[in-house]
Chains A and B, each alone.
Chain A
Amino acid sequence: MKQRAQNIFVALCLSLCFTLLPLTLKSGEVTSSSPDLKGRETVTMTQEFKEKYPLKRVHAKLSLECLFCHDGQGNNPEAFKAVREKTCLECHGSKEKIAQRLDFIGKPNPHNSIHDGTRLSCDECHYEHKASINMCAECHEKEIATNMWMRKTP
Chain B
Amino acid sequence: MKLKLFIFLSIGIGIGLIFSLVTYYGLHKTSDQKFCVICHEMDPMVVAYREDVHGGAGKLGASAKCVDCHLPHDNILKYIYTKARNGVVEGSIHLFGDPSKIDWIEKRAHRESFVFDDGCLECHGNLLSTQTSSKQAQKMHKHYQSLKGTDKEIHCASCHIDAGHQNMRNTLNYYTPEFEIMKEQMKEKKSEIQEKYQHYGIQKEK
Contacts and interface: CB of A to CB of B under 8 A. Distances in A.
Nearest to A36: B142
Interface stretch (B60-68, B169-177, B196-204): B169-177
B78 to A, nearest CB: 14
B154 A63 contact: yes
Interface string A2-35: 0000000000000000000000000000101111
A32 B148 contact: yes
B145 A148 contact: no
A104 B140 contact: no
A133 interface: no
A91 B140 contact: yes
Contacts, number: 61
A148 B178 CA distance: 10
A114 to B, nearest CB: 15
A103 B37 CA distance: 24
Given A34-B146, A35-B145, A90-B136, A101 B169 contact: yes
Nearest to A106: B185
B66 to A, nearest CB: 22
B146 A149 contact: no
Contacts of B179: 105, 147-150
Contact of A101 (B167, B182, B185): B167
A140 interface: no
B159 A101 contact: no
A137 interface: no
B173 A104 contact: yes
Interface in B142-188: 142-143, 145-149, 152, 154, 158-159, 162, 167, 169-170, 173-174, 179-182, 185-186
A100 interface: yes
Interface residues of B, number: 29
B158 A104 contact: no
A102 B140 contact: no
A79 interface: no
A100 B142 CA distance: 28
A106 B154 contact: no
A81 interface: no
Contacts of B128: 32
Contacts of A68: 139-140, 143
B189 interface: yes
B100 interface: no
A30 B129 contact: yes
B169 A102 contact: yes
A63 B167 contact: no
A50 interface: no
A61 interface: yes
Q: Which of A63, A100, A103, A150 has the most CB of B within 10 A?
A: A63
A62 interface: yes
A35 B146 contact: yes
Contacts of A63: 143, 147, 152, 154
User: Shortest 10 CB-CB distances between A and B: which pairs?
Assistant: A32-B145, A35-B142, A104-B173, A104-B170, A63-B152, A90-B136, A34-B146, A35-B146, A32-B148, A103-B170
15 contacts: A32-B145, A32-B146, A33-B145, A34-B146, A62-B154, A63-B152, A65-B143, A68-B140, A90-B136, A101-B167, A102-B170, A104-B170, A104-B173, A104-B186, A106-B182
